[in-house]
Amino acid sequence: MNFRDATHESYSFHTLINISLQSKKYTMKVTALTFNQFQENTYIISDDTKECIIIDPGCYQDFERTELTDFIKTKNLKPVKLINTHCHIDHVLGNKFVSEQWDLELYAHKEDLPLLANAGAVAKMYGFEKYEGSPYPKHFLEEGDTLKFGASELEIIFAPGHAPGHICLLSKKEGFIIAGDVLFNGSIGRTDLPGGDYDTLIESIKTKLLPLDENTIVYCGHGPSTSIGKEKMNNPFLV
């Protein structure tokens, strides 16, 4: 397969986003592969050491898992950590596959454990009959933690509301945030799912995300990326 470095470029039946973020010491790359019927963005973040982390693997079908595996192989990457921003079913469908494929332990926030425990029942509701379950997190991430891999590090931001244990991963140095389903291009995350709360979500966005530099790129759990400045100006839920 021919993977290419591109910005918002279509690849196969999914969206492949590959942004090179320049640093004085290294280059961090953020790649999104879009999987499952909810069009969920699975993120692979790597740097020049070739180590990478996999965030929210939504790969459910065999061809989706092959696409992820082929990307890792083609780029000669070494996955070292598996992270869930939150544990809604569309973001954890590939947890077991990724964990076993690369012998990775799961990182998540402890407040989302009830969602993870109930993922099997939710999977049946949405027709994911082949859902194989997920490993239990071996590491719990909290506000202010630093997640390290290769020559890189990401700051953990606790941003509940869409889910009770939702986290975001921020690189101030590189100017981007993996926002999961907290903030979207022109919208915000749902709050009508178990554990959701509208007021809590708005508070998380206004106190944790909007104070960031306006040029910060926001990589969303669904749909295209955006920026903090754009959402401050145009998001109908925030203006």
Mean of the pLDDT values across residues 122-146? 97
Confidence (pLDDT) at 61: 98
pLDDT in tens, 135-191: 999 999 999 999 999 999 999 999 999 999 999 999 999 999 999 999 999 999 999
User: Which burial class, exposed, middle or buried, applies to 229 when counting CB atoms under 10 A from its CB (0-12, 13-18, 19+)?
Assistant: middle
Whole-number percent of the chain with pLDDT over 70: 89
Confidence (pLDDT) at 27: 81
**Domain ranges for the chain:** 9-234
Q: Is the pLDDT of residue 220 over 60?
A: yes
Q: How far apart are CA 30 and CA 166, in angstroms?
A: 20
Q: Does the 9-234 domain belong in CATH 3.40.50.970?
A: no
Residue 158 neighbours by CB distance under 10 Å: 17
Identify the CA nearest to 83 among candidates 94, 75, 72.
94
Confidence (pLDDT) at 115: 98
Three-class SS state of 197: coil
Band of residue 56 on the pLDDT scale cut at 50, 70, 90: very high
Q: How far apart are CA 190 and CA 107, in angstroms?
A: 23
User: Which burial class, exposed, middle or buried, applies to 95 when counting CB atoms under 10 A from its CB (0-12, 13-18, 19+)?
Assistant: buried
Identify the CA nearest to 216 among candidates 165, 161, 157.
157
pLDDT in tens, 89-110: 999 999 999 999 999 999 999 9
Higher-confidence position of 99 and 25: 99
Q: Answer positive or negative: Cα dihedral of 4, 9, 12, 15.
A: positive
The model carries a pTM of: 0.90
Helix H or strand E segment including 232: helix 228-234
Q: Is the pLDDT of residue 20 over 60?
A: no
Q: How far apart are CA 177 and CA 171, in angstroms?
A: 6
Confidence (pLDDT) at 7: 32
